[in-house]
Amino acid sequence: MPLKSILNQLQKFKSFVYANVVWSASGQELEVHLRPRKNSRPVCVECRRPGPIYDHQRQARRFEFVPLWGIAVFFVYRMRRVDCPDCNRVVIEQVPWGDGKHRTTTTYRWFLANWAKRLSWQEVAVISHTSWQTVYRSVRYAVLWGIAHDTWKNVVSIGIDEIAWRKGHKYLTLVYQIDEGRKRLLFIAEERTQEALHRFFDRLLPEQIVELKFVVSDMWRNYLDVVRDRAGNAVHILDRFHVMKKLNEAVDQVRRDETRRLKADGYEPVLKQTRWCLLKRPENLSDRQTVTLQELLTYNLRTVRAWLLREDFQRFWEYRTASWAGRFLNEWMTRTLRSRLEPLKKVALSLRAHRPLLLNWFRANGALSAGVVEGFNGKAKLTMKKAYGYRTHEALQIALYHTLGKLPEPNFTHRFW
């Protein structure tokens, strides 16, 4: 089957025909020459309306197309200029396989953008024999098209978190949709301030804010204040993941402090290499770690008391109602505040301050968890690691939307990827 027939089947353009296919002067590329149909009128690039022909460009323009069999393919076309009566000026025509001054076809940009989801941008550039900038512009085009055609419908549950993207405490605020069957990145903002999260709610319509039923976040004060002010009707949940993370950090801090104290006093280093014995769940311990933990529990150590308090708190998540869970929480906080273990006392005071939000976990029937949010954060960090970081916030934002946003794509006659 001739290449012209294949292109007519897969990439047919109204008012244009494929004239012929020839090898380039170098003999390394295929050139597909196009011409307009007889009596067709060029379309103005600005108002998108047909108009009379003014003249033709002197030299034909080349547009890079999807490679075939490892051979570079270029569309070659001599552009017409339009004497547009609506714009009252002479402008270049709009062609259906490209836009603006881009030297790549729209199909080739989508080809590069989809491969950029699987590989790093540099790897896509090397494999496709093009430049990193071409890949970046293709991904940016796909993301902007997707955002323009995306709709935030039926967003009921969202998760809010932050990740560090650069040294020097440079953070991103990320908002995810975590509904069952629809999990994706919705919004990115620089820094983790109240203004950053306010920009997300500013993009929501009043009826969309009313539709929000659940908001999951950590205990970062800026996020708590904004959610209270902008989404007061939603159930704000401090979930199990972040609470247990704080408790584990407190237990580990007690262990480190006691390890230094025992070493300074000349005692046997019984806490050496016991970190994961204390932080892992008992059912996840290896046989060797189980034996080590059993031996450690025979000592009267501050670390052992901290571990016992942490394990006792696990019973909190087994309750079925918020009222009984609240009674247990009060009793646990009282014992912890009397334990003279400062890291755990700090956590207990934090839980007391956020008690209503913590009990919301039961009002949501434990159905929502920040585990989904943390999973997305891991994918975001992998995206950054795959590229060895990004120099600008715009490039990082484009990469994250492209990888995690699940943005819509146009309907293609044929997908070349």
pLDDT digits (tens, 9 = 90+) for 115-133: 999 999 999 999 888 899 9
- The arithmetic mean of pLDDT across residues 2-24, rounded, is 87
Q: What is the pLDDT of residues 368-416, one digit of tens each?
A: 777 788 889 999 999 888 888 788 889 999 999 999 999 999 888 777 7
For Cα atoms 271, 272, 273, give the angle at the middle one, nearest 5 degrees: 115
Q: What is the pLDDT of residues 282-308, one digit of tens each?
A: 889 899 999 999 999 998 899 999 999
pLDDT at residue 143, rounded to an integer: 96
Q: Would you place residue 266 in the very low, low, confident or very high pLDDT band (cuts 50, 70, 90)?
A: confident
Locate tokens 């505040």: which residue? 337
- The arithmetic mean of pLDDT across residues 235-260, rounded, is 90
- The arithmetic mean of pLDDT across residues 336-357, rounded, is 94
Domain ranges of the chain: 1-103, 157-238+375-386, 240-363
pLDDT at residue 133, rounded to an integer: 93
CA-derived radius of gyration, the chain = 30
The reported pTM is: 0.83
Q: What is the pLDDT of residues 168-187, one digit of tens each?
A: 888 999 999 998 889 999 99
pLDDT at residue 177, rounded to an integer: 94
> Do the beta carbons of residue 214 and residue 417 sit within 8 Å?
no
Q: What is the pLDDT of residues 70-94, one digit of tens each?
A: 888 999 999 999 999 888 889 899 9
CATH number of 157-238+375-386: 3.30.420
Flag whether pLDDT at 366 surpasses 70.
no
- Count Cβ atoms below 10 Å from residue 317 Cβ, excluding itself: 14
pLDDT at residue 8, rounded to an integer: 84
Average pLDDT, the chain: 90
Phi and psi angles of residue 195, each rounded to the nearest 5 degrees, phi first:
-60, -35
> Which residues, in sequence order, are CB contacts of 400 under 8 Å at separation 6+?
174, 185, 188, 380, 383
> Do the beta carbons of residue 177 and residue 158 sit within 8 Å?
yes
Supply 371's token pair: 């585990």
- The rounded distance, in Å, linking the Cα atoms of 342 and 389 is 38
pLDDT at residue 413, rounded to an integer: 75
Q: In terms of pLDDT, which residue wins out, 29 or 369?
A: 29
Q: Would you place residue 111 in the very low, low, confident or very high pLDDT band (cuts 50, 70, 90)?
A: very high
- The rounded distance, in Å, linking the Cα atoms of 365 and 355 is 16
pLDDT at residue 367, rounded to an integer: 67
Flag whether pLDDT at 1 surpasses 60.
no
Burial class of 230 by CB neighbour count within 10 A (0 to 12, 13 to 18, 19+): middle
3-state per-residue secondary structure call for the chain? CCHHHHHHHHCCCCCEEEEEEEECCCCCEEEEEEEECCCCCCEECCCCCECCEEEECCCCEEEEEEEECCEEEEEEECCEEEEECCCCEEEEECCCCCCCCCCECHHHHHHHHHHCCCCCHHHHHHHCCCCHHHHHHHHHHHHHHHHHCCCCCCCCEEEEEEEEEECCCEEEEEEEEEECCEEEEEEEEECCCHHHHHHHHHCCCHHHHHHCCEEEECCCHHHHHHHHHHCCCCEEEECHHHHHHHHHHHHHHHHHHHHHHHHHHCCCCCCCCCHHHHHCCHHHCCHHHHHHHHHHCCCCCHHHHHHHHHHHHHHHHHCCCHHHHHHHHHHHHHHHHCCCCHHHHHHHHHHHHCHHHHHHHHHCCCCCCCHHHHHHHHHHHHHHHHCCCCCCHHHHHHHHHHHHCCCCCCCCCCCCC
pLDDT at residue 180, rounded to an integer: 87
